[in-house]
Structure 1
């Protein structure tokens, strides 16, 4: 299973739980859970799916919660890797 598929599955599991709660708690509940328990790398992957792939496969409650989820800073590229990919 690819990393993107894992992120979709995990996010949708959280949304499934919050679908059983009052509708007013859904987006905030999903965002709070992801903000508390997902490391920046996972949140970065989630936003990559949303920003670059249209959020395909994500539950609508996850997409509704996205503006409430803390967006992590871009991943730092190790200096050796940055030098190898720099244009001559």
Structure 2
């Protein structure tokens, strides 16, 4: 795993956190988003990066969300994008 890939994942998590800041529970919304849309490999990479380099550079919302996911806590759907009641089940 390259440092460039890790830096991109940190950047992406921060960017998504900034977009979700106005949600009622932004850290839960981010955790939900990452759980729903990031691949397991992406999550493993960012967790490995955090284990090796700490949380420097992460937005506080991203820190909280990633800590929840790392602890195995996946929140229930937080937004219309991740709630099957709003968009139906996976067509696959």
Change (3 A) 1:71 1:44: farther
Bigger Rg, which one: 1
- Equivalent position to 1:10, from 5, 9, 12: 12
Q: Report if the CA contact (8 A) 1:31-1:69 is conserved.
A: yes
Match of 1:40 in 2: 40
Q: What is the RMSD computed on CA atoms of the aligned residues?
A: 2.1
Structure 1: gaps spanning 5 or more residues: 73-88
Match of 1:81 in 2: none
Following superposition, the deviation at residue 2 of structure 1 comes to 0.8
Following superposition, the deviation at residue 54 of structure 1 comes to 0.6
Following superposition, the deviation at residue 44 of structure 1 comes to 0.8
Structure with more of its chain in helix, by fraction: 1
Structure 2: gaps spanning 5 or more residues: 73-92
Partner Cα distance (1:18, 1:3) in 2: 23
Alignment TM-score, normalising by the size of structure 1 = 0.69
Partner Cα distance (1:68, 1:9) in 2: 19
- Name segments (4+ residues, structure 1) moved above 4 Å: none
Q: Report if the CA contact (8 A) 1:47-1:71 is conserved.
A: no
Q: Secondary structure at the match of 2:50?
A: helix
Count the aligned residue pairs: 70
